[in-house]
Each structure stands twice: as structure tokens, then as C-alpha cells.
Structure 1
Amino acid sequence: MVFIPFWICIFVGAAIDARERRFPNELAGACAVAAFAGVWLDRGINTALEHAGLAVIVYLALVFAESLWRRIRHAPGIGMGDAKALFALCILDPLGGIVAFAVSLLALAVACLITKSRSLPLLPFLVPIFAIIEVVGSTL
């Protein structure tokens, strides 16, 4: 029950990304705060702070990699909205967020090959894959 606000925010973000190819900062912030609050209420402040620290590390690494990509290739790679979404996911479950990100990039690549599209939004792939990982992980 404590994670319901997070799931509402992140699925709304995926819908916006699918439609407009963006993840608004306000919504990304709400997702991160909801994830932090949910982890704090469910597992305690120490776990919430650990997850937040790991999320910051993952976020900074992704922003660095994206900045380097743009500098070398002179073209965007993943969007900053994707990095913001991964930050919120990693606050909730760091390992699940990273695994979902990797699997969703693979699914996105396959979808681009099938549709012969140069790019597609990532969040419509990332959020459902993360949700599946969380459901399967909670039943084990």
C-alpha cells in the first residue's frame, strides 16, 4: 500500500513519455519522493538512505555516460528523462532498476529493428519491465 503513489507516478510518466517523448521534472521528483517515502515506511530510514545513495551513483554514472556520448557522437543517446526515471526506480529497488534498465534497452533495440525506427521512447518499456521484476521478486 505504501508504494501506490510511486506506481501511479511512474506509470503516468511512462504514458507521457509514450505520447510526448518527455518525462516532466515535477513528475520525476514526485516519483523519487514517493519511492523514498515508500521504502522508508516499509523498510526503515537506513534502507531508504542506502537506496537513495545507490540511486545517486547510478544517476551520475548515467549522466556522465550520456554527456560523453553526446560529446563524442554529437547526437543524443538516451534522454535525461530516462536517467531521471532510473533514479526513481533505483530508490525503490537498486538492483531491480538496473536489471530493468538493461532489459528494457534490449527490448527497445528489438522494437526499433522491427519497426525500422531510429528511436522510440524508453519509459514504456522500462516501467512495465520493472513492474514485472518487482512482482516476480516479491513472490519469491
Structure 2
Amino acid sequence: MNDAEILELLRRRGALLEGHFKLASGLHSDRYVEKFRLLEDPETTARLVGELAERVRRYEPEVVVGPVTGGVILSYEMARQLGTLAYFTEKRADGGMELRRGFDVHGRRVLLIEDVVTTGSSVLKAAEAVRAAG
């Protein structure tokens, strides 16, 4: 699947919105990806994640980690397609993130996956959680 085909798939699912959007970060954009238009359709989600999986397989991740909400679904599907474990981070009271529930990343090659990235702050928090856990 090439980039044009991915964009067409996003449009068909009603996930690629065009106009003026104020993002949660406070930034503005003329495009917005409504991730839940993708995540509500398991077949489309599996297809898109499969494309990503082929691009990252060479790194041989042992665990896939995604931040809570959209990242949980994506980490599960990516792990399923790569044949690895799927973990997720959860928010702490101070706004950071952490791995709970006995998730063990110590000494493992971790692939971090996120649903939508604007400023990268939640990805950085998730990466910090993974580093702190080992």
C-alpha cells in the first residue's frame, strides 16, 4: 500500500477531515485524522497496522507498547501481527505515564506505537515510562 492508497482509505472511512481544527495541543491544522473512524472497523485497522508491521518487522521488537486509549488498540493489533506481547501505559496523577499490571519490558526490544501525534508529548511520556521500567 502506498501513501496515496492510505490517504484514499482514510477518506473512504471518513477519517481524514479537512477544514480548520484547533487541536488538543492548542495548535491549529487544516487536516485532522479522526482515529475512531478507523479503530471502529477491525478490518481496516488490521490492514493499516499490517502495513506498519511490515515496515518495522526488521527491528525485531519483543514487546509493543501503546499509551492509553487509541494506543491500546493499536499496540494489541501490532503485537498480534508481529507475534509479540502487547502492553500499554497508563496515566499517573502527576500527568506522566507508567507501565502497571506487572508489564515487564526489562531487557526487551520495545516498539512504541501511538494513534495520533501532534507535539509528541504523550509519546515522550510513554517512552519515559518504558525507560523507567527497564
TM-score scaled by length of structure 2 = 0.31
Structure number with greater CO (CA < 8 Å, separation at least 6) is 1
